[in-house]
Chains A and B, each alone.
Chain A
Amino acid sequence: MNVEKRFEIVRTFVAVTISLLIGFAIILFASDEPLSTLYYFIISPSTKMRYLGNVVELAIPLIFSGLATSILFQTGLFNLGSEGVFYFSGLLASIIGIKFSLSFIFHPILAILIGSLFGMIVMLLIGFFKAKWNASELVISLMFNSIFFGIGAYILNFYFRDPNVSGVYSFKMNESVFLNKIIPGTRIHTGLIIALLTVFLVYLFLYRTRWGYEIRMTGLNKRFGKYTGMNTTKVILIASILAGAIAGMGGAVEIIGMYDRFKWSALPGLGFDGALIAMLAKNKPKNVIFAALFLAYIRIGADLMARMTDIPSEMVYILQAIIILFISGKKFLEGYKEKSLLKEVKNNE
């Protein structure tokens, strides 16, 4: 293993440790039983099958949104539209679930396809505005999030709301649309397989095909892309469609995998988490899986901590913030890296 890779591992490890120490210090101040608190936060998610299941369940949508966002980021598009797509595609999937009754396999496929299709259309629009008129994708995507939420909430409230439950929830979906649970004792569903498969395909697409090459080069230097003869407009559109399809798939999979009705009364936040995941993963598809699992793990750990101890649930956010800050600090431990590089250079002489 080369120095840089080894360093990355050491750095991540130390960063997590330090942020945990800071977290511990805060916990010490806020809790009467800091040790068990820490236990619940760090260890307990891995102590029960059910908890590990929770981690994976939570990671599934994060993988989708992280993947979608990293494709956009790689293309040089700062598009945060996955959030709105997640919400609306989820709603569409639930409508398919409510309105249709198909044989077991076609029903979820139809729901996912419709979700993806919606994602593709939305992202295509954002990408088109960007490519054609250079309209800020950040602004448009943020606005689209709110717009689709508003429209979705309207559709839900006026057409699909079940008046016989207390929240603004849709009618129950037909069971045929639900994704199968694949690991007994957990709620992990076939969405996991779809997610992993998607990661693999996206990896191949980005790093092993000419279209992926075009996306990455355009993202790194648009002028180079143009110079090379790439149709940068087309490239942006392809990347947007792909990202939209994945985000839409994520929304649909989450709803038919984890819910029996459509229950989101606000934007679910899973799409925004995609930006976080993409950054932590440095936009690399493979890393997305680990970043998603990592984030899911600390969130479940924090939930358990809040559930089992006297630590208020807000601590979750504080700890998350600290961990993100340290882990992403590139210069963190730079001195150590230089020393080991120097040693390596000396050894080679």
Chain B
Amino acid sequence: MNSFFDTIFTSDFVFSTIRVTTPILFAALGALISNKAGSPNIGLEGIMLMSALGGVVFSAYTGSAFIGLLGAVLVGLISASILAYFTLKLKTDVILGGIAINFFADGGTIFLLYYLTGDKGTSSSLPSKVLPNIDLPIIQNIPVLGDIISGHNILTYVAIILIIGVWYLLNKTATGLRIKSVGENEDAAKSVGVNIMKVRYLAMALSGVFAGLGGAFLSMGYVSWFSRGMSAGRGWIALAAEAMGRGTVLGTTLSSILFGAADALSNTLQLLGIPSELISIIPYLATVIGLLIYAINNTKKRKLKE
């Protein structure tokens, strides 16, 4: 048991929590923005997957990791735009549309991968590039803190900046105000001349871009190739994190970290020899418990208020 706590309270553990959290956080922030605009993006899982492939393909064919990243973001943007077109213009139910995007990604990525590489499993034969890890000057030399904060993939830092960016966008800017108004009372927004289509489109597009970054992180940061189904449910986890965060930036961030930490914990727990099936449920159990504690407290507070 000693060795167990030794592994938890190490900088390695915190470091890996941050790494595990990164892709979830990207998608969760995306989910937050589109939810705020009243059009939940259930397609994040699929968009991440497509972007992961997009990043690999663009970087492999241009030889540039940066262009690969742009490619991933572009793929995210385009997929979200297609979803937006159907849901906003043709009034396809947004949930159904999201499900469709996920289906499309499942088949489409493998189809394209096969077309490009003759392999349905991984893109490892493509010379794709990776995005660099960054050592933060000064901070890297601080004991413990430096080990935890410095040396992450560049996209991890992008994610951290985006937390602040999204908070700023939603709470300080006119666009944010409009996004929230459209989500909460679209007639009200319409009545003051806010173009709800445009706002919703923007929110959807942003969520696609964010999922695109998450996808790029998976295939160009975490590992250096694309493999089938590699988003592995992170898009769904992100939706859960957003819902658990009750539509706030801080809450969404914390919930994402909770998921990340629980997942990192489950990796560590494997060392204890507990059956792996049972270990696999830890992140989910932790979420349920966390959510319930939060909800119960919240209910108590509300009761007091009434």
A interface with B by C-beta (< 8 Å): 30, 129, 132-136, 138-140, 142-144, 146-147, 149-151, 153-154, 157-158, 275-276, 279-280, 312, 314-318, 320-322, 324-326, 328-332
Which residues in chain B, 266-306, are within 8 Å of chain A measured between CB atoms?
A: 275, 277-278, 280-281, 283-285, 287-288, 291-292, 294-296, 298-299
Contacting pair A321 B244 (CB below 8 A): no
Alpha-carbon gap, A312 to B113, bound state (A): 12
Alpha-carbon gap, A322 to B90, bound state (A): 13
Q: How far is the CB of A299 from chain B (nearest CB, A)?
A: 11
A-B pairs, 3 with minimum CB distance: A317-B107, A329-B90, A150-B281
Q: Say if the beta carbon of B61 comes within 8 Å of chain A.
A: no
Residues in B whose Cβ lies below 8 Å from that of A279: 93, 95-96, 99
Contacting pair A320 B103 (CB below 8 A): yes
Contacting pair A314 B111 (CB below 8 A): yes
Q: How far is the CB of A21 from chain B (nearest CB, A)?
A: 16
Q: Say if the beta carbon of B55 comes within 8 Å of chain A.
A: no
Residues in A whose Cβ lies below 8 Å from that of B283: 146
Contacting pair A150 B107 (CB below 8 A): no
Residues in A whose Cβ lies below 8 Å from that of B78: none
Contacting pair A275 B95 (CB below 8 A): yes
Q: How far is the CB of A329 from chain B (nearest CB, A)?
A: 3
B interface with A by C-beta (< 8 Å): 86, 89-93, 95-97, 99-101, 103-104, 106-108, 110-111, 114, 236, 239-240, 243-244, 275, 277-278, 280-281, 283-285, 287-288, 291-292, 294-296, 298-299
Q: How far is the CB of A91 from chain B (nearest CB, A)?
A: 12
Contacting pair A154 B100 (CB below 8 A): no
Contacting pair A321 B104 (CB below 8 A): yes
Alpha-carbon gap, A73 to B284, bound state (A): 23
Q: How far is the CB of A147 from chain B (nearest CB, A)?
A: 5
Q: How far is the CB of B28 from chain A (nearest CB, A)?
A: 12
Q: How far is the CB of B272 from chain A (nearest CB, A)?
A: 15
Residues in A whose Cβ lies below 8 Å from that of B284: 143-144, 146-147, 150
Q: How far is the CB of A203 from chain B (nearest CB, A)?
A: 22
Alpha-carbon gap, A36 to B1, bound state (A): 64
20 new A-B contacts, CB < 8 A, other than A325-B92, A332-B92, are A133-B292, A135-B291, A135-B294, A136-B295, A139-B291, A142-B240, A143-B240, A143-B288, A146-B280, A146-B284, A151-B277, A279-B95, A279-B96, A324-B99, A325-B86, A325-B97, A329-B90, A330-B93, A331-B90, A332-B91
User: Given contacts A318-B107, A329-B91, is CB(A324)–CB(B288) below 8 Å?
Assistant: no
Residue in chain A with minimal CB distance to B294: A135
Q: How far is the CB of A9 from chain B (nearest CB, A)?
A: 18
Alpha-carbon gap, A144 to B108, bound state (A): 29
17 contacts between A and B (CB under 8 A): A133-B292, A133-B299, A139-B244, A143-B287, A143-B288, A149-B281, A150-B280, A150-B281, A150-B284, A151-B281, A280-B96, A314-B110, A317-B104, A317-B107, A321-B101, A321-B104, A329-B86
Residues in A whose Cβ lies below 8 Å from that of B295: 129, 133-136
Contact of A317 among B96, B103, B277, B299 (CB under 8 A): B103
Residues in A whose Cβ lies below 8 Å from that of B296: 133
Residue in chain A with minimal CB distance to B297: A133
Residue in chain B with minimal CB distance to A331: B91
Contacting pair B108 A318 (CB below 8 A): yes
Alpha-carbon gap, A153 to B76, bound state (A): 34
Alpha-carbon gap, A134 to B284, bound state (A): 18
Contacting pair B95 A317 (CB below 8 A): no
Residues in B whose Cβ lies below 8 Å from that of A134: 295, 298-299
User: Given contacts A129-B295, A144-B288, is CB(A328)–CB(B107) below 8 Å?
Assistant: no
Q: How far is the CB of A281 from chain B (nearest CB, A)?
A: 11
Residues in A whose Cβ lies below 8 Å from that of B92: 325-326, 328-330, 332
User: Given contacts A150-B281, A325-B97, is CB(A136)–CB(B244) below 8 Å?
Assistant: yes
Alpha-carbon gap, A320 to B291, bound state (A): 35
Alpha-carbon gap, A150 to B279, bound state (A): 8
Alpha-carbon gap, A134 to B288, bound state (A): 13
Q: How far is the CB of B278 from chain A (nearest CB, A)?
A: 5
Contacting pair A151 B278 (CB below 8 A): yes
Contacting pair A330 B90 (CB below 8 A): yes
Contacting pair A318 B243 (CB below 8 A): no
Residues in B whose Cβ lies below 8 Å from that of A147: 281, 284-285, 288
User: Given contacts A136-B243, A139-B287, is CB(A321)–CB(B292) below 8 Å?
Assistant: no
Contact of A318 among B111, B239, B277, B278 (CB under 8 A): B111
Contacting pair B292 A138 (CB below 8 A): no
Contact of B104 among A139, A140, A151, A318 (CB under 8 A): A318
Q: How far is the CB of A317 from chain B (nearest CB, A)?
A: 3
Residues in A whose Cβ lies below 8 Å from that of B100: 320-322, 324-325
Contact of B291 among A136, A324, A326, A331 (CB under 8 A): A136
Contacting pair B108 A139 (CB below 8 A): no
Alpha-carbon gap, A92 to B95, bound state (A): 31
Residues in A whose Cβ lies below 8 Å from that of B103: 317-318, 320-321, 324
Alpha-carbon gap, A324 to B90, bound state (A): 12
Residues in B whose Cβ lies below 8 Å from that of A151: 277-278, 281
Residues in B whose Cβ lies below 8 Å from that of A144: 284, 288
Q: How far is the CB of B204 from chain A (nearest CB, A)?
A: 14
Residues in A whose Cβ lies below 8 Å from that of B93: 279, 328, 330
User: Given contacts A280-B96, A314-B111, is CB(A140)–CB(B291) below 8 Å?
Assistant: yes
Contacting pair B90 A321 (CB below 8 A): no
Contact of A150 among B244, B277, B287 (CB under 8 A): B277
